[in-house]
Structure formats: structure tokens, C-alpha cells
Chain A
Amino acid sequence: MKSDRVWTPYLLVAPAVLVFAFVVLLPALLNTGLSFVDWSGTNQMVFVGIDNFTRAFRDDIYLTAYRNTFGYIALTLILEVAVGLVMAGVVTMQGRRTAFYRIAFFVPVMLPMVVIAVLWSFVYSDDIGLINTALRSTGFDALALVWLGNPATALIAISVVSGWIYAGFYMAIFFAALQRIPTHIVEAATLDGASQWRIFFSVKVPMIRPMIEIAVLLCVTGAFQSFDLFYVMTNGGPDHATEIVTTYLVEVVFRFNNLGYGAALATIMTIVVLALGLIFARIRSKVGGVDVEY
């Protein structure tokens, strides 16, 4: 449709385009430029070519951060997506009323991550923590560990919190997808004598596969960008055991004032996330709309 006046469309898109250009597009471009300089934010900018990138690949902490990030991704895939899928299977068993549970499982998703992080650092706390006081009062003193202060358990402990938040979220999107499976298909399988579990894994799960693929990518890209839990609960410690890409990036830029190097780290991260995002977009276009009606 033609607009009534030539300039109307531009007037309509102008506020969105201008704000977006100022706070996202321009910074994204400038950030790419910053990747090639050495700059503390106050001194003279010096062009250093790809030095920042070669430095990143020799930076032990940065490599550790990637290892931890991938470990975290693997753990959250299990604790969020896999657990969420099983939960969705349980709440969609035939003839059960489950609205209450579904509402309860989703509560943590809408709470501020920082509140959850503070709350769970208390849950894990050595002296007043829910876990350790429960273990001690039931005689399992030996199992009461310093969960967040121990390099062996810290990453797993944070992943559990992440699972606590997002398992209900993935359950909700799987639930919405499962609700759309035509009932006659499930009925046919039931008539053939298949058990509920058999129907779930052999009939329902294959049918919601596109949604599972999307969930996996959402989980991977989300885990890549997570920050709040790590920053509040351990801030990368102990001894970089929970250092992830984003916590290290923020430290390099805002504590060490190494803007050029930080920008380069961000550029590398952007390439990784964009690559994952493009796969996401491909799947999405393959399956068409995936709007979730709960």
C-alpha cells in the first residue's frame, strides 16, 4: 500500500531506527573497530592490527572461560532442556489435571536473576545454607561442602540454579507444542497398546522435534550470554573455576580498563553467537512459525 504522504513511512520508522542506531547499531560497529586498537579509555588510541585476537588465543584465562562456558552449556542442556522435556511429558500424561504444577514450575522464570542468585548463595552457604544445615541435621556432615567455594563443585552448583530457573520455562514451551499434537494420533497409539512412556518417547517427542531443536539452540545461545548468576554467586572464582566468557569480558573492560582487548573478546563471542543464531534462523524458517500458545 502506498502511504498518503511520501514522508509518512520515514516519520513512522524514524524513532525506532534512530534509537536503535544510537544504542545498538553504532556501538556494534564501533566495537568492531575497537577490537583492533589498544585503548584504556583515556589514553591515546593505538592501532595494533590483530594483536588483540592473537593475544586472546594465547590467554589462558580466556581459554578456561570458554571451557567453563561449554561445560555450563552441556550441564544446562541436561538440567534445563532434558529435564524440562521429561517434566512436559509427565504433565501431559492422559487424564491428569496439572495446571497447578505447571504454574508452580514457572515461578522462578519471572523473578530477577539477581534475587535468585543472592537467595541461592544463601541456600549454598556454608553456615546458614539450606543444603548444609539439612545435611548436618540428618547426620550427613561429611557431605556438607563449601559448594560455591570449591572449584570441583562451583560450576555444577551454578548450573543447578540455572536448571531451577529454566526447567519450568522449557517445560512450558514443550507443553505448548505437545498440546498441538492431534488427539487421534495419541489415541491410535493407545489402542495399539503402547504405554504412556512409550507414546511419549516414540510418538510425541518426534512430533515436537522442531521445538526441541529450537529449545537446544535457545539454551546454548542463552548460556553463552549468561552473566548475572556467575557475577553474583562466584564472580568467576574460585581460581577461575566459574570464569565464563562474559564475566571475563566485563572484568577486562570495566576493571582492567582494557577496552581494545575487551572489544576483541566481544567480537569473537559475537561471531560464535551469530553462527549459532543463524542456525536458529534456518531451523525457524524450515518449520515456519513456532508461536507458543500456552
Chain B
Amino acid sequence: MLNTDTRPRRARLSPRISAIVYHSVLTAVSLFFVLPLVWMIVSSFKSKREIFDSPFALPTSLDFTVWTNAWERGDLGVYAVNSVITTVASVSGILVFGLLAAYAFSRLKFRFSKWLLLPFLLGLLLPVQSYLTAQSRLLDAFYILDTRWALILPYIGLGLSLAVFLLKGYLDSLPRELFEAARIDGAGDFRTLAQIVLPLMRPGLATVATFSVLSAWNEFLLATLYIQSDDLRTIPVGLLAFTGKYSTDYPTLFAALSIITIPMVGIYVVFHRQVINGITEGSVH
């Protein structure tokens, strides 16, 4: 093909220089994303004076006593255990209840199935604030406010809409013959679920699990409104209480932030593909 474009071409940079420029720009952008986190870790090893005077200097020594201090004084262990219990319980609920319902909605014919499915669609769109006020009174009326259930049940409710629709979507795409063959072979619904659906749904379940784990682990609004007892608090709320108590003890606060952040970033680095997939697919569904 002849190039009929006669306009003067801009001089092209040599590939080598353009590569250097390209990667410098992207490194600078990456720094903007990573710098606050690096500053957080570095500052935990400094005195308040050093943080103030030389924000970019490396610490003179790596003294981890401030980290152990933060862990103990901040009750971070208690908060971590609470977060684990709440997250595991709510995500298990979302996965089990979500898969059972998705299977029924996708594969079985029954009366009122459309009407039973419709509310979950509404749940995808409703902001949590739109039912927060009534929800808190309802939980109070059942005496479960300020217990673990006050978070576990709402988290399951929040996650179910996505789980039902995402898993139903995956199930809808499986060939019908698969289920009919199982039926002819005499498999009941529960055996079909356990031996055919479960293995095939691993990717879908992984997406839902990733999204739900992060949502529950990071949730703050309900956790701060529904839990008053300090020994039931999850990490986000506990951390905030801690910052309130030690508002000027910056090295300790930086240590606490680092203790929470580093394990998460570590897990992310290992499972980044899974995490990015889970969050993006869960958000865009």
C-alpha cells in the first residue's frame, strides 16, 4: 500500500530514548501511588521530630518495638480476630446461600421464581444508606445490635445480590444437556449441585469470594454504627478508635497502619490477578 500522506512527519525519537522517557514517566506515576505507603512504613521507625524535619530520609535504625507496642496497645490482635470471624462467617454465608439460590433460579422451574429473584436485582442498585436507618432499628428490635450478627447478617445481605446474579450468569451459560444427563443418570438436585455444579463453578465462586472478602474486611459504615463494644470491633473501626486515643503519637500510629497494610499488600502481590479480577468483575458485573 502506498503512503499518500505527504505531510511532514515529526522527527521520531530513537526507540531507546523513547523507552527511557516512557518508563521514567510511568515510574514517576507509580511513585505517586506507592510513596504514601513507603512514607508510612519509613515514618514508623522515626521519632516525631525526624518525621517533621526530614520526611524523605531513611530511618536511622529499624526498631520494631514501636510495632509490637502498637500491636499491644492498639489491641490490633483482638480487632484482627474479629475481622477474621466476621469476614469468614459472612463470606461463607454469601457463597453457600448464593450458590444454592443461583442454582435454583438458573436451572429449576418453580412458581414465583421471577418474584423471588426480583428483590435481588433491587439489591444491586440500592445504596446501603437507603435502608440503614430502619435496618439499625430492626437489628435492635431483635437484640442483635452490638453483637457479631449485627455485621454478619447485613454483610451477607449486601453480598447476596451480586453472588446470586454472577453465579446465575455462570450457570445459565452451562449446557442444558449436562444437567439432563445427570438427571437421567438418577442424580438428584443435591448430588448435581455437589458433583457437577460445584466443580464447574470454581472460577465464579472465586470471583464472588474475592470481592466479598475484601468488602467485608474493609467495611466501615455499618461496623462503626452497629458495634459499640470495643472487644467486638473490626479492624477499620478499631484503628479509628486507636487514632483517636493516640492522636499525636505518630510513630505508633504509623506502625499500626503498617501492620494492617503490609499483610494485605503481601497477599495482593501474590494473588494480584485474582484480586484485580475479583474487584473489577464484582464492581462492573
Give residues in A with beta carbon < 8 Å to B: 1-6, 8-10, 12-13, 15-17, 19-31, 33-34, 41, 87, 90-91, 93, 96, 98, 100-101, 103-115, 118-120, 122-123, 127-128, 130, 133-134, 137, 164, 168-169, 172-173, 176, 191-193, 214, 218, 221, 224-225, 227-228, 231-232, 245-246, 249-250, 253-254, 259, 262-263, 266-267, 269-270, 273-274, 277-278, 280-281, 289-294
Instruction: Say if the beta carbon of B160 comes within 8 Å of chain A.
Output: yes
Q: Tell which of A3, A108, A290 touches B33, judged by Cβ atoms closer than 8 Å.
A: A108
Is B189 in contact with A4, judged by CB distance below 8 angstroms? yes
Interface residues of B, count at CB 8 A: 109
In the bound complex, residues from chain A placing their C-beta under 8 Å from that of B39 are 123, 130
Expressed in whole angstroms, the minimum distance between the Cβ of B230 and any Cβ of chain A is 16
List 26 interface pairs A-B (beta carbons < 8 Å), by A numbering.
A3-B109, A12-B101, A16-B98, A16-B160, A17-B101, A19-B156, A19-B160, A20-B157, A23-B153, A27-B135, A31-B130, A31-B131, A90-B26, A110-B214, A112-B239, A115-B239, A128-B51, A130-B39, A133-B51, A133-B52, A172-B276, A218-B284, A246-B129, A274-B126, A281-B125, A292-B281
Q: Tell which of B109, B134, B268 touches A107, judged by Cβ atoms closer than 8 Å.
A: B268
Expressed in whole angstroms, the minimum distance between the Cβ of B136 and any Cβ of chain A is 8
Is B214 in contact with A269, judged by CB distance below 8 angstroms? no
Expressed in whole angstroms, the minimum distance between the Cβ of B95 and any Cβ of chain A is 11
Q: A24-B126, A225-B128 are in contact. Are A112 and B119 (CB under 8 A)?
A: no
Is A28 in contact with B134, judged by CB distance below 8 angstroms? yes
Q: How many A-B residue pairs have CB under 8 A?
A: 307
Q: Tell which of A10, A87, A96, A274 touches B125, judged by Cβ atoms closer than 8 Å.
A: A274
- 5 further contact pairs, Cβ within 8 A, besides A1-B183, A28-B131, A119-B37: A112-B235, A113-B236, A122-B40, A137-B54, A266-B131
Is A225 in contact with B101, judged by CB distance below 8 angstroms? no
Whole-angstrom distance between the alpha carbons of A192 and B9 in the complex?
13
Instruction: Say if the beta carbon of B58 comes within 8 Å of chain A.
Output: no
Q: A107-B33, A115-B239 are in contact. Are A172 and B138 (CB under 8 A)?
A: no
Expressed in whole angstroms, the minimum distance between the Cβ of B131 and any Cβ of chain A is 4
Give residues in B with beta carbon < 8 Å to A: 1, 3, 5, 9, 19, 22, 25-27, 29-30, 32-37, 39-40, 43, 48, 51-56, 93, 96-98, 100-101, 103-105, 107-110, 113, 116, 119-120, 122-138, 153-154, 156-158, 160-161, 164, 169, 176, 179-180, 183, 188-189, 214, 217-218, 220-221, 224-225, 235-237, 239-240, 243, 250, 253-254, 257, 260-261, 264-265, 268-269, 272-273, 275-277, 279-281, 283-284
Is A214 in contact with B134, judged by CB distance below 8 angstroms? no
Expressed in whole angstroms, the minimum distance between the Cβ of B111 and any Cβ of chain A is 9
| Shortest Cβ distance from A273 into B: residue | B127
Task: Please classify the interface of chain B as helix (H, G, I), strand (E, B), loop, or mixed, using the class held by over half of its residues.
Answer: helix
Is B130 in contact with A128, judged by CB distance below 8 angstroms? no
Is A27 in contact with B235, judged by CB distance below 8 angstroms? no
Is A106 in contact with B272, judged by CB distance below 8 angstroms? yes
Expressed in whole angstroms, the minimum distance between the Cβ of A136 and any Cβ of chain B is 9
Whole-angstrom distance between the alpha carbons of A107 and B268 in the complex?
8
Expressed in whole angstroms, the minimum distance between the Cβ of A51 and any Cβ of chain B is 17
Q: Tell which of B136, B180, B217 touches A1, judged by Cβ atoms closer than 8 Å.
A: B180
In the bound complex, residues from chain B placing their C-beta under 8 Å from that of A250 are 129, 132, 221, 225
In the bound complex, residues from chain A placing their C-beta under 8 Å from that of B257 are 115, 118-119
| Shortest Cβ distance from A268 into B: residue | B130
Whole-angstrom distance between the alpha carbons of A280 and B273 in the complex?
26
In the bound complex, residues from chain A placing their C-beta under 8 Å from that of B122 are 25, 28
Q: Tell which of A13, A221, A254 touches B100, judged by Cβ atoms closer than 8 Å.
A: A13
In the bound complex, residues from chain B placing their C-beta under 8 Å from that of A98 are 26
Is B268 in contact with A291, judged by CB distance below 8 angstroms? no
Q: Tell which of B32, B156, B260, B277 touches A23, judged by Cβ atoms closer than 8 Å.
A: B156
In the bound complex, residues from chain A placing their C-beta under 8 Å from that of B160 are 16, 19-20
Is A191 in contact with B131, judged by CB distance below 8 angstroms? no
Is A270 in contact with B127, judged by CB distance below 8 angstroms? yes
Whole-angstrom distance between the alpha carbons of A191 and B3 in the complex?
8
Is B55 in contact with A118, judged by CB distance below 8 angstroms? no
In the bound complex, residues from chain B placing their C-beta under 8 Å from that of A269 are 127, 129-130
Expressed in whole angstroms, the minimum distance between the Cβ of B281 and any Cβ of chain A is 5
Whole-angstrom distance between the alpha carbons of A93 and B25 in the complex?
13
Whole-angstrom distance between the alpha carbons of A2 and B122 in the complex?
27
Q: A9-B110, A16-B164, A115-B257 are in contact. Are A123 and B36 (CB under 8 A)?
A: yes
Is B153 in contact with A8, judged by CB distance below 8 angstroms? no
